């Protein structure tokens, strides 16, 4: 079931709500530059097991509205709070992949984890995607600057290149084309705005504030968000557990989808 939720005047979020009568709720936050449809292989299976699965499209992406502004982590986490309140969610698992993981961290810090009982960070872009002074982890700043430049120069070609480094396991050409189309759904200005946020913002204090049980899932072959960042998240978050995925890149939810679904559901049920 799909519907829209207003997060601020003239800005609506698309919400995919599967199995609303489910025993436990998982709210999925997708990564850049995709949409909630990236979690197709979770939405195929987890509702069968009795879970309510809610996927939302971040502003600027998928089927949500695409305003020119509002792509900082504060605003994006406020958007999530609006959805949580509108749907009356409580005692739910918040699952964020990549940039969605960064938004989840800011939500936990800024909104004190409102309604969240458990957190799942999947290849999360936190506490800083880029290397900084006194933080020699992550990717070089030039990597992100090139994404921004190529978004403005030739966004389809940029998306093709990004897709090529997203998965570790072999994917078909048809799957690659599908992934590419998800990226094209986004607005160009939103596609560039999120990488600018990666440069401007950090999430160290947000990680320190997390106190709910947290599962950290990270592919050891991740070429987008290096595995070391998962290890650092594990150090910062008190009640956390890191599960390395030996045969996954950035798209861990697809590279090892059966194992991913099992690990996530086992964590929720504990």
Catalytic residues: 98, 222, 250
- Using DSSP's 3-state secondary structure scheme, residue 16 falls into strand
Q: In three state form, how does the secondary structure of 48-83 look?
A: HHCEEEEEECCCCCCCCCCCCCCCCHHHHHHHHHHH
* Distance between CA atoms of residues 257 and 267, nearest Å: 15
> Bridge-partner residues for 16, per DSSP?
2, 55
Lateral strand order in the sheet of 214-219: 2-8, 11-18, 51-56, 24-29, 92-97, 116-122, 214-219, 240-245
What count of residues does the chain have? 270
Helix ranges (H only) for the chain are 40-43, 73-87, 99-110, 141-164, 173-184, 188-200, 204-209, 227-236, 252-255, 257-269
* Distance between CA atoms of residues 64 and 47, nearest Å: 23
């Amino acid at each position: 079931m799909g519907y829209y939720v207003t997060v601020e005047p003239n800005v609506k979020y698309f919400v995919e709500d599967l199995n609303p009568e489910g025993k436990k709720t998982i709210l999925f936050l997708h990564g850049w530059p995709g949409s909630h449809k990236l979690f197709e292989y979770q939405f195929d299976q987890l509702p069968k097991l009795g879970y309510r699965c809610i996927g939302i499209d971040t502003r600027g992406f998928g089927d949500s509205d695409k305003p020119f502004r509002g792509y900082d982590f504060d605003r994006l986490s406020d958007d999530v709070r609006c959805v949580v309140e509108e749907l009356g969610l409580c005692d739910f698992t918040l699952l964020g992949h990549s940039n969605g993981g960064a938004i989840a961290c800011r939500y936990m810090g800024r909104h004190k984890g409102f309604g969240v009982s458990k957190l799942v960070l999947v290849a999360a872009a936190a506490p800083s995607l880029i290397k900084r002074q006194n933080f020699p982890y992550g990717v070089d700043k030039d990597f992100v600057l090139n994404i921004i430049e190529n978004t403005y120069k030739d966004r389809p070609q940029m998306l093709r290149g990004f897709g090529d480094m997203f998965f570790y396991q072999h994917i078909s050409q048809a799957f690659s084309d599908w992934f590419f189309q998800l990226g094209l759904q986004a607005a160009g200005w939103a596609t560039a705005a999120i990488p600018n946020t990666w440069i401007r913002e950090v999430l160290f204090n947000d990680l320190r504030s997390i106190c709910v049980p947290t599962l950290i899932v990270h592919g050891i072959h991740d070429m987008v968000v290096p595995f070391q960042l998962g290890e650092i998240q594990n150090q910062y978050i008190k009640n956390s557990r890191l599960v390395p995925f030996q045969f996954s890149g950035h798209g861990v939810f697809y590279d090892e989808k059966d194992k991913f679904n099992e690990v996530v559901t086992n964590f929720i049920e504990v």
